[in-house]
């Protein structure tokens, strides 16, 4: 039989029978690579052959939803903690024994460091269980050197292997029967069933689905690293997100020590959960009071900044929003934003212009969220507008004031979710006053010890910022 080939976009996985300069699906240029079509029949036979049956861990056949299954080692009820409060919260309360986790992030952000620390935390919580750490990128000596730097304690139950062939990894798993398998990184592994190079869409998909099969049939927790790639030459973690249980993204600005671990998908917990870490010379350390990082330190009131209590996942965070207005040299003023969607910024400035007569039409506007955070919550609308308004009228907002509220197109200030939680956090951090939707004043009054001011419409901003 003649082998068929197809062209796959390496950034979104779109397939075409002929080469195209630009992917019609995701619009990336030069991302189509010729790949052999996988014979799915062979691949599924391989998947069955790779099913693992480790005694005592075998999955039951059919059970009733309500049945208690004594064999069930996996499942969300048997979680183990990782010794990092931030990581446990991001995972929805610890590690799930047969969970398949994908960690995406830019090269050099600290994924390998995090995973070695995960391994350390896991062995401390489960001293009798084994871990297999397979690296396709680094030599064994490099991993050992990193482990030494991180002062990994229980190093006897962590096994290392430098391997890129998936079938060889599977035989290592059969021999060592680990409870946790760490694969660093997805783009370096390849299976002999497919001809294309490691890192291509078909390899990445096949490797991930076979690992999924391994996690579920042998009840092994699998953690997989995926590099986020900008040039599209190798396939990124986006292509396999649907296959895994949990998708975490590790982010941070290069040159800064702050690292954010974000849950994008989680079958065992909340999404949009945020873990905050600091990269130190001894590895990653939990940041227990992250609000302090997103508030710039200042003693004086300055114009163009406003504080909001946003909720990321389950935790309130106080964040500083900054705006700068300068007269525009061009006919069309510029709107530049970091951390807030530019469409959203355009919408907020239009509402401000129409309903609060802000005078933004001949001003360039620059907007920034302090600490590199990305805001997507509507509850930040009022604070963003207050920062812009303060910048344009050149009057400061007291640094002890917090703004809460969603703003509609007609300029009305609308309710936000979990208002008590936000106000409590503001109070804890020493803020003196909260400006909040008038309709929520009654609910908010339960919190004592902080001044509350209700606002109904954005036109009232002028009288509030004096
Ligand atoms: P690494 O985990 O290798 O990143 P990735 O696997 O995502 O490519 O981490 C790379 C950076 O982290 C490297 O520039 C050095 C820094 N680092 C520290 O600052 N402290 C440490 O303890 C370790 C192990 C690394
Ligand atoms: Mg690495």
CATH of the domain at 214: 3.40.50.300
Q: Provide the CATH number for the domain around residue 459.
A: 3.30.230.10
The protein residue with its alpha carbon nearest to ligand 1, atom 13, reads 108
The confidence score (pLDDT) of residue 47 equals 54
Q: Express each pLDDT in 44-82 by its tens digit.
A: 555 555 556 665 555 556 777 776 655 444 445 678 888
Q: Output the six-digit token pair for 134.
A: 């397979």
Q: In the chain, pLDDT over 70 holds for what percent of residues?
A: 90
Q: Is the pTM of this model over 0.75?
A: yes
The answer to the question of residue 36 being in a domain is: no
Q: Express each pLDDT in 188-233 by its tens digit.
A: 999 988 888 898 888 999 999 999 999 988 889 999 999 987 765 5
Residue 321 pLDDT grade (very low, low, confident, very high; cuts 50, 70, 90): very high
* Among the bound ligands, the one closest to the CA of 114: 1
Contacts of 464 (CB under 8 A, 6+ apart): 386, 435, 453, 455
Residue 337 pLDDT grade (very low, low, confident, very high; cuts 50, 70, 90): very high
Q: Express each pLDDT in 168-188 by its tens digit.
A: 999 999 999 999 999 998 999
Give the atom of ligand 1 at the shortest distance from the alpha carbon of 281.
20
In angstroms, what is the span from residue 142 Cα to ligand 1's centroid?
Answer: 12
Q: Beta strand pairing status for 283-286 and 305-312?
A: unpaired
Q: Express each pLDDT in 246-277 by its tens digit.
A: 999 998 876 778 898 989 899 988 887 888 89
* DSSP sequence for 56-97: T-PPPSS--TT---TT---SGGG-B--S-HHHHHHTTSSB-T
The domain boundary residue, chosen from 258, 286, 314: 286
Residues 253 and 309 in one domain: no
Assess whether the C-beta atom of 111 lies below 6 angstroms from ligand 1.
Answer: yes
> Which residue bears the tokens 């004031």?
401
Assess whether the C-beta atom of 281 lies below 6 angstroms from ligand 1.
Answer: yes
In angstroms, what is the span from residue 361 Cα to ligand 2's centroid?
Answer: 48
The confidence score (pLDDT) of residue 300 equals 75
The domain boundary residue, chosen from 254, 271, 286: 286
Contacts of 84 (CB under 8 A, 6+ apart): 117, 118, 121, 275, 284, 286
Assess whether the C-beta atom of 105 lies below 6 angstroms from ligand 1.
Answer: yes
Q: Output the six-digit token pair for 244.
A: 């895994």
In angstroms, what is the span from residue 4 Cα to ligand 1's centroid?
Answer: 42
Domain housing 129? 72-286
Assess whether the C-beta atom of 112 lies below 6 angstroms from ligand 1.
Answer: yes
Residues 85 and 150 in one domain: yes
The confidence score (pLDDT) of residue 77 equals 64
Give the atom of ligand 1 at the shortest distance from the alpha carbon of 115.
2
The answer to the question of residue 11 being in a domain is: no
Contacts of 57 (CB under 8 A, 6+ apart): 71, 73, 218, 219
Q: How far apart are CA 464 and CA 466, in angstroms?
A: 6
Residues 321 and 406 in one domain: yes
In angstroms, what is the span from residue 174 Cα to ligand 2's centroid?
Answer: 25
Q: Express each pLDDT in 75-105 by its tens digit.
A: 456 788 888 889 998 998 889 988 999 999 9
The answer to the question of residue 43 being in a domain is: no
Residues 190 and 281 in one domain: yes
The confidence score (pLDDT) of residue 166 equals 94
The domain boundary residue, chosen from 233, 261, 286: 286
The confidence score (pLDDT) of residue 73 equals 46
Domain count of the fold of the chain:
2
Residues 189 and 210 in one domain: yes
In angstroms, what is the span from residue 73 Cα to ligand 1's centroid?
Answer: 33
The answer to the question of residue 190 being in a domain is: yes
- From 108, 260, 282, mutation site for ligand 1 pocket: most ligand atoms within 8 A of C-beta: 108
Average pLDDT along the chain? 86
Residues 328 and 220 in one domain: no
Q: Express each pLDDT in 348-374 by its tens digit.
A: 999 999 998 888 888 999 999 987 788
Residues 194 and 160 in one domain: yes
Q: Express each pLDDT in 365-401 by its tens digit.
A: 999 998 778 888 999 999 999 999 999 999 999 988 9
- Partnered with residue 135 across adjacent β-strands are 162, 184
Residue 3 pLDDT grade (very low, low, confident, very high; cuts 50, 70, 90): low
Assess whether the C-beta atom of 282 lies below 6 angstroms from ligand 1.
Answer: yes
The answer to the question of residue 326 being in a domain is: yes
Largest CA distance in the chain: 79
CB atoms within 5 A of ion ligand 2 belong to: 112
Which regions of 79-220 does DSSP assign to beta strands (E)?
100-105, 131-135, 158-162, 180-184
* Among the bound ligands, the one closest to the CA of 109: 1
The protein residue with its alpha carbon nearest to ligand 1, atom 16, reads 110
Q: Output the six-digit token pair for 353.
A: 């212009």
Assess whether the C-beta atom of 226 lies below 6 angstroms from ligand 1.
Answer: no
The confidence score (pLDDT) of residue 74 equals 46
Residues 435 and 298 in one domain: yes
The answer to the question of residue 54 being in a domain is: no
Residues 279 and 336 in one domain: no
Reported as type and span, the H/E element at residue 167 is: helix 166-176
The confidence score (pLDDT) of residue 69 equals 55
* Among the bound ligands, the one closest to the CA of 148: 1
């Amino acid at each position: 039989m003649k082998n068929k080939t197809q062209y796959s976009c390496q950034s979104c996985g779109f397939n075409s029978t002929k080469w195209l300069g630009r992917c019609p699906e995701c619009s990336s240029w030069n991302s189509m690579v010729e790949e052999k079509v996988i014979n799915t029949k062979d691949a599924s036979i391989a998947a069955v052959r790779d099913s693992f049956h480790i005694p005592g861990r075998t999955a039951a056949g059919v059970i009733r939803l309500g049945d208690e299954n004594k064999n069930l080692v996996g499942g969300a009820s048997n979680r183990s903690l990782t010794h990092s409060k931030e990581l446990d919260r991001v995972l929805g309360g610890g590690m799930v024994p047969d969970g398949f986790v994908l960690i995406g992030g830019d090269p050099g952000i600290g994924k390998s460091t995090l995973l070695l620390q995960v391994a350390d935390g896991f062995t401390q919580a489960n001293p009798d269980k084994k871990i297999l750490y397979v690296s396709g990128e680094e030599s064994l000596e490099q991993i050992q050197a990193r482990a030494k730097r991180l002062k990994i304690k229980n190093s006897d139950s962590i096994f290392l292997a430098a391997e890129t062939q998936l079938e060889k990894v599977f035989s290592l798993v059969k021999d060592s029967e680990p409870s946790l398998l760490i694969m660093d990184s997805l783009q370096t592994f390849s299976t002999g069933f497919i001809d294309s190079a490691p890192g291509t869409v078909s390899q990445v998909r096949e490797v991930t689905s076979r690992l999924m099969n391994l996690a579920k049939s042998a009840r092994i927790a699998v953690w997989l690293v995926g590099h986020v790639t900008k040039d599209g030459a190798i396939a990124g973690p986006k292509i396999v997100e649907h296959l895994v249980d949990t998708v975490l993204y590790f982010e941070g600005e290069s040159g800064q020590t702050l690292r954010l671990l974000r849950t994008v998908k989680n079958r065992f917990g909340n999404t949009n959960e945020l873990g905050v870490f600091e990269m130190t010379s001894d590895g990653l350390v939990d940041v227990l009071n992250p609000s302090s990082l997103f508030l710039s330190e200042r003693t004086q009131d300055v114009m163009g900044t406003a504080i909001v209590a946003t909720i990321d996942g389950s935790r309130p965070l106080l964040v500083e929003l900054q705006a700068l207005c300068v007269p525009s040299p061009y006919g069309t003023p510029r709107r530049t934003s970091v951390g807030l969607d530019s469409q959203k910024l355009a919408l907020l400035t239009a509402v401000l212009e129409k309903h609060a007569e802000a005078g933004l039409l001949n001003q360039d506007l620059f907007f920034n969220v302090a600490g590199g955070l990305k805001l997507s919550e509507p509850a930040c609308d009022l604070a963003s507008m207050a920062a812009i308004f303060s910048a344009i009228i050149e009057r400061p907002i007291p640094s002890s004031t917090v703004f809460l509220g969603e703003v509609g197109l007609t300029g009305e200030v609308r309710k936000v979710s979990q208002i008590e939680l936000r106000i409590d956090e503001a109070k804890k951090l020493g803020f003196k006053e909260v400006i909040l939707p008038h309709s929520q004043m009654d609910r908010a009054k339960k919190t004592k010890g902080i001044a509350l001011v209700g606002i109904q419409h954005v036109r009232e901003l002028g009288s509030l910022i004096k």
